[in-house]
Amino acid sequence: MVRIALPPADLPVPPDRLFAFLADASAHRAFLEPDALDFTGDADGHRYKLEVMGMRLPLDMKVQERVAPARVVLVAGEKKAFDQSLRFDIESDGNGGSRLRMADEADFPMMFAMMGAEKLLQGQLERSLGRIVELAAAGKI
């Protein structure tokens, strides 16, 4: 099992607003694209494909847990390529904004591990967090 935890990011939005954004899985399109190809989703889950060494890897994630306004957890859905859990932890920064922590756990099959799936996942997680920071700074969350 691989665990990737990013350093926390401070965002200029209140925790309840950030929670509402992250709790709606269809809103994840805003920070997953352009990496997420053929994105579809609703409030409770989303599906997309990642380009990996010329192959399109399908990812299917569903919301497993919503604890307002502190936590959203997504897990691999029914059409999973591997077990995965993506966690968003939200807390107040004490100044009207939020502190967001993102962590992903994945149990890659050996073939995916040999193809560098951990680096790919870390890169996607870092780009997603960067995009969330941009969206918050632009007032789009």
Which residue from 90, 87, 118 is spatially nearest to 104, judged by alpha carbons?
Answer: 87
Q: What is the pLDDT of residue 56?
A: 81
- Confidence class for position 82, pLDDT limits 50, 70, 90: confident
Tell me, yes or no, if the pTM score tops 0.85: yes
